[in-house]
Amino acid sequence: MILINYPPREQWAEILRRPALDTENLFDTVRSIIDRVRAEGDKAVLDYEARFDKVELASLAVTEEEMQEAVEAVGVELKAAIYLAQKNIETFHAAQRFTGKKVETMEGVTCWQKAVGIEKVGLYIPGGTAPLFSTVLMLAVPAKLAGCKEIVLCSPPGKDGKIHPAVLFAARVAGVSKIYKAGGVQAIAAMAYGTESIPKVYKIFGPGNQYVTAAKQLVSLRDVAIDMPAGPSEVEVLADETANPVFVAADLLSQAEHGADSQALLITTSEKLQKEVMYEVERQLGYLPRRDIAAKALENSKLIVVKDTEEALQMTNEYAPEHLIIQTTDYHQLAERVTNAGSVFLGPLSPESAGDYASGTNHTLPTNGYAKAYSGVSLDSFIRKITFQEILPQGMCAIGPAIEVMAANEQLDAHKNAVTVRLNSIRKQ
């Protein structure tokens, strides 16, 4: 990890820079895969599964027999943990339900909104180095609550031609409609355009590697919506001299083990804590099975000392972390002043892992500074809000003349006339 002490503000931009993720140089390769899947459907997806995931598949759909086999393969302890997490995620997201109310903006002019679930959504669940069954819950639970009629899930199979049992079990618990053995760019293309087996969806959710990220960006230009721009995962710990260095180091490492391109940051007012955390990171790293991945991520990670809490907060809001853990004496007061972050964890006993798995908040969050403009996935991510209005005669008489004036000044005479003919009709009554 890189140690930085009291950096001047003009150096902050460089210090807070993320590991480079340039998806544009992948666009030609990714576009060629997308185009072939769009043209050839299942045949192309099956060919790419053989090439990239090294597995020969007879078909893409997960069968009911495979689902039952997965349910039996998942241990009782993990099943109980998944059920607990599902319940908490459902409780938190159910509280986000939109209740529209009718508003009379003027007498005789009533406007309102209605929330409607996106009919068809696609969930991408990476395979790779870890089976992310927790992401199944984070995406499928709010999709089901929102009233999405078709929830399609794609995930790459292992060498045995099967999706990890825990992913399938989580999908069953969360109410996923259809599951397919497809990964990478080919899965994104299949959900964006549809194949003989995989339905076309209206919005795609889920994390992935740089190729998946590039694919989501490309298909979202014209053809399908996506959840948000995505990049490598990241965490920042904001801490003072009262923070427990063992906890802080554990939090940094829990992020670092996600991937070699992840980033972990400590911003602290204590040089003593900085040194203690450095020691603890090195000590705890030796015990991790994924130590090689974590060690690579730590090369991009920094332990920064600043002069006071005010500067620490300013640097935090400039960084806009995906995950922010605050371990200070006044963490509630500091939390009120956080303006840019994906998800915030308060106090010494609130690790990022809680939000990643079972506290109830969503772990699909904006990275790479996008927290300045984007929210994490929520119930709203899976719904559309349709506006309605009803105008009665007294309402048209009240606002009609203003509409006529505005339309005339924009030189849109047909707009004006649509009001004028109604006003004339009312006046004749």
Domain ranges within the chain, ordered by starting residue: 24-99+126-224, 231-375, 392-428
List phi, psi (to 5°) of 93. Answer: -75, -30
- Please name the residues in contact with 11: beta carbons below 8 A apart, sequence gap of 6 or more: none
Q: Are 358 and 86 in contact (CB under 8 A)?
A: no
Third-level CATH fold of 231-375 = Rossmann fold (3.40.50)
258 is in an annotated binding site: yes
Confirm whether 24-99+126-224 and 231-375 share one CATH topology.
yes
Query: Contact, 40 vs 197, CB < 8 A?
Result: no
Catalytic residue, from 234, 236, 257, 322: name it. Answer: 322
Per-residue pLDDT of the chain (429 residues; tens, 9 = 90+): 999 999 999 999 999 998 766 677 889 999 999 999 999 999 999 999 999 999 999 999 999 999 999 999 999 999 999 999 999 999 999 999 999 999 999 999 999 999 999 999 999 999 866 789 999 999 999 999 999 999 999 999 999 999 999 999 999 999 999 999 999 999 999 999 999 999 999 999 999 888 999 999 999 999 999 999 878 899 999 999 999 999 999 999 999 998 888 999 999 999 999 999 999 999 999 999 999 999 999 998 999 999 999 999 999 999 999 999 999 999 999 999 999 999 999 999 999 999 999 999 999 999 999 999 999 999 999 999 999 999 999 999 999 999 999 999 999 999 999 999 999 999 998
Residue recorded with tokens 């544009």: 24
Tokens representing 152?
Answer: 């399609």
Report the sign of the C-alpha dihedral through residues 384, 178, 49, 292, in that order: positive
Active site residue 332: no
Length, in residues, of the chain: 429
User: Concatenated DSSP letters for 324-377?
Assistant: EEEESTTHHHHHHT--S-SEEEESTT--HHHHHHTSSS------TTGGGT-PPP
Structural fold of domain 24-99+126-224:
Rossmann fold (3.40.50)
Distance CA 36, CA 401 (A): 55
Instruction: List the catalytic residue out of 49, 257, 280, 323.
Output: 323
Q: Is 255 annotated as a binding residue?
A: yes
Phi, psi of 163 (to 5 degrees): -80, 145
**180 among annotated binding-site residues:** no
E-state strands within 6-75: none
Q: Which two tokens stand for residue 72?
A: 């039996």
Write down the residue that tokens 């004749």 correspond to.
428
Torsion of CA 162, 150, 90, 379, to 10 degrees: 120
Q: Tell me if residue 322 is catalytic.
A: yes
> Are the CB atoms for 207 and 230 separated by under 8 Å?
yes
Contacts of residue 1, Cβ cutoff 8 Å, sequence gap at least 6? 252, 264, 278, 281, 298, 301, 302, 303
Flag whether 59 is marked binding: no
The phi-psi region of residue 146 (left if phi > 0; otherwise alpha if psi is between -120 and 50; otherwise beta) is: alpha
332 annotated to a ligand binding site: no
Record the tokens describing residue 138, joined without a space. 């984070």
Q: What's phi and psi for 54, nearest 5 deg? A: 55, 45
